Amino acid sequence: MHSTTSAALIGFLLLISVYFVTRRPKASSSSSLPLPPGPKPLPLIGNVHQAPKSHGWRAYREWNEQYGPIVHLNMLGQPVIILSTSEVAHDLLAKRGAIFSDRPRLFLATELALKGLNILMMNYTDQFRHHQRLQVSVLNATPAAAYLSVQTLESQQLLHDLLLGSSGGAGIDVQAPFQRTTASIIHTLLYGFRIRDPNDPVLRSVVKLNEEFSEFIQVGAHIVDQFPVLNHLPGFLAPWKATAENHYNTKYALRMENFRRALEDSDAWNISKQLKKTVEKDDGRDKMPLDELAFELGTMIDAALDGTTDSLVWFVVACITQGHQGFIAKARAELDAVVGRDRLPRPEDKPQLPYITAIVDEVLRWRPAGPEGAPHLNREETTYNGYRIPKGSVVVANIWTIAREEAVFGPDTDDFIPERWLDEKGELRALPAPAFGYGRRTCPGRYFARNVLWIIVARLLWSFEINAGLSEETGEPIPVDPEACTYGLVMRALPFKARFIPRGPWVREVITREGDTYSTDHTALLRQIGAEFSKL
């Protein structure tokens, strides 16, 4: 072995020993109650050897079936608590939000790659509450309703692109048009410019940075997260330092340039201008450096892009693989009765289209884009249902399992059945919505996301038969596997092709009549939103 490597290894082992001596969990506790049950740990390493390498939510579901709704794991001395019912997740993460709203320290992602500026990873501090206040001021139910015009415009563009791009051939890659649509909605609202092409360089940069960040954020995957002291090693032994620095610099440059464009390129309203006004208000309550605000806006782009796009793609997977359940025919009957065939569905139709809303709820339940949510951390020890939850536990709401709780959602929860969201009168039932997380860290973009999903789902069902793509060689449909997905912070369907075939001649006529939207002046829509904001 090369001598430098040997020296590094000895240094590394020394650091690990120091870590265990200084970080071994304290025996003292205010309670003699037991820890929650879980798989049997080994000395020193605990359950590390049993930790799933990928798709953790599936293994956690098995543990929850075996040990109950609260499972404890010991990861090298770090307590991890996995929750698997709506009741326990709500009791701990929401009702005891004052102590369960921190995040685990992911040194590489939070401190090196984002220099503490990402709201998703912040502890529940004054700085976090400040960022959250800003986000809520532009994402809550009332402001989110003001964005419907832009969402509707982009959904029309999506239909137009799908009509031109897919109806005749063997099918198209599904991710690209949906990603463009979501990206264009959020870039228009946040920065005032549209994304017209899936290969737009701004969009490609966001996607690349999101993929990189998804690697950084893997719990347990980076030795420097367990031992931040390793960051003192010279660069050639600590290659993550340069990668993280480069990530930060690229993100910073992208966000500052987008912010500049938002402020300078047009005199129309956008969210950047709105929040800049808030942080510069005379009372000083929301004062924030402008580069920190620019970072905040970029975080909203990152958070909005993946969850929303991936949920739309899962809807397409449901149409192709779960259509035999009859939900498509039911949705069409509702759409034909309420909307007719002379125009597209509009947001105002929503109260008369509960079955479409039930489909959106079912997509979010059946394939929650973040199946393990984002980990919480409790700042104090607490007891619950006869168990002790040690201070500093990483608490994971296993949204995948929670969304499959038969006591809450009825039978066959692995199947796609929108009817579970409706009562016997066909009205929407108030069931829990685990996909957006819990308590004080609940997703602030949930109203925004639901509005995007609703208008696009309604319009796709109104317009197209959605079928699997065809093999170029045999002309046969290529089966889509509804279980095939990536593993990371978000659960994305593996690439597949689909065909979007107009349901009838009236579809082509209506979509063509409304036409390509790039000649529409989107700044007029933004001015209208600005006028509505001034009344809020």
Least Å distance between CB 436 and ligand HEM?
A: 5
Which of helix, strand or coil describes residue 376?
strand
Token pair for 133: 């206040």
Token pair for 422: 């409706």
443 interacts with ligand HEM by CB under 6 A: yes
The DSSP bridge partners found for residue 305 are: none
Dihedral sign from CA coordinates of 356, 359, 363, 365: positive
**Distant-in-sequence, close-in-space partners of 4: CB < 8 Å, separation ≥ 6:** none
CA distance 103 to 109: 12
- Single residue of 311, 322, 451, 517 touching ligand HEM by CB under 6 A: 311
Give residue 535's identity as a one-letter amino acid code. K
**Distant-in-sequence, close-in-space partners of 155: CB < 8 Å, separation ≥ 6:** 181, 455, 456, 459
Token pair for 103: 């995040």
Nearest to 75 by CA among 103, 104, 41, 109: 41
56 interacts with ligand HEM by CB under 6 A: no
- Single residue of 251, 441, 459, 499 touching ligand HEM by CB under 6 A: 441
Whether 89 and 434 have beta carbons less than 8 Å apart is answered as yes
Least Å distance between CB 312 and ligand HEM?
A: 9
- Single residue of 113, 163, 303, 468 touching ligand HEM by CB under 6 A: 303
Q: Which stretch binds ligand HEM (CB under 6 A): 16-24, 106-114, 437-445, 510-518?
A: 437-445
- Single residue of 444, 469, 488, 502 touching ligand HEM by CB under 6 A: 444
Q: Name which of 211 and 423 has its Cβ closer to ligand HEM.
A: 211
Q: Name which of 244 and 369 has its Cβ closer to ligand HEM.
A: 369
- Single residue of 195, 304, 402, 433 touching ligand HEM by CB under 6 A: 304
- Single residue of 47, 226, 272, 308 touching ligand HEM by CB under 6 A: 308
Token pair for 294: 């620019």
Residue 445-464 contact track with ligand HEM, rule CB under 6 A, x = bound: x--xx---------------
CA distance 284 to 273: 17
∠ CA(341), CA(346), CA(352), 5° rounding?
85
369 interacts with ligand HEM by CB under 6 A: yes
436 interacts with ligand HEM by CB under 6 A: yes
Q: Name which of 134 and 468 has its Cβ closer to ligand HEM.
A: 134
Token pair for 4: 């430098």
How big is the site for ligand HEM, counted in residues (CB under 6 A)?
26
Token pair for 463: 């317009």
370 interacts with ligand HEM by CB under 6 A: yes
Which positions from 100 through 119 interact with ligand HEM, judged by CB under 6 A? 119
- Single residue of 374, 417, 461, 498 touching ligand HEM by CB under 6 A: 374
298 interacts with ligand HEM by CB under 6 A: no
Dihedral sign from CA coordinates of 388, 392, 393, 398: positive
CA distance 284 to 287: 5
Q: Which stretch binds ligand HEM (CB under 6 A): 36-44, 80-88, 444-452, 500-508?
A: 444-452
CA distance 347 to 148: 7
Q: Name which of 29 and 442 has its Cβ closer to ligand HEM.
A: 442
Which of helix, strand or coil describes residue 474?
coil
Q: Name which of 103 and 222 has its Cβ closer to ligand HEM.
A: 103
Residue with nearest beta carbon to ligand HEM: 445
224 interacts with ligand HEM by CB under 6 A: no
Least Å distance between CB 245 and ligand HEM?
A: 24
Q: Name which of 339 and 443 has its Cβ closer to ligand HEM.
A: 443
Q: What are the φ/ψ torsions at residue 340 (nearest 5 degrees)?
A: 80, -165
- Single residue of 83, 120, 195, 526 touching ligand HEM by CB under 6 A: 120
373 interacts with ligand HEM by CB under 6 A: yes
Least Å distance between CB 73 and ligand HEM?
A: 19
Least Å distance between CB 262 and ligand HEM?
A: 15
Q: Name which of 373 and 469 has its Cβ closer to ligand HEM.
A: 373
402 interacts with ligand HEM by CB under 6 A: no
Q: Which stretch binds ligand HEM (CB under 6 A): 209-217, 370-378, 421-429, 473-481?
A: 370-378
Token pair for 138: 């532009």
Dihedral sign from CA coordinates of 281, 282, 288, 289: positive
CA distance 190 to 193: 8
300 interacts with ligand HEM by CB under 6 A: yes
The runs of H, that is alpha helices, within 382-480 are 399-402, 406-409, 446-463
Nearest to 526 by CA among 301, 300, 272: 272
Least Å distance between CB 452 and ligand HEM?
A: 7
435 interacts with ligand HEM by CB under 6 A: yes
**Distant-in-sequence, close-in-space partners of 168: CB < 8 Å, separation ≥ 6:** none
139 interacts with ligand HEM by CB under 6 A: yes
Least Å distance between CB 132 and ligand HEM?
A: 6
**Distant-in-sequence, close-in-space partners of 500: CB < 8 Å, separation ≥ 6:** 162, 163, 166, 167, 172, 460, 463, 464, 465, 466
Q: Name which of 437 and 469 has its Cβ closer to ligand HEM.
A: 437
The CB density around residue 110, as the number of other CB atoms within 10 Å, is 22
Does 485 count as an annotated binding residue? Answer: no
Whether 441 and 296 have beta carbons less than 8 Å apart is answered as no
Show binding-site residues for heme. Answer: 443
Q: Residues interacting with ligand HEM, by CB under 6 A?
A: 119-120, 135, 139, 299-300, 303-304, 307-308, 311, 369-370, 373-374, 435-438, 441-445, 448-449
Which residue positions form the known binding site?
443
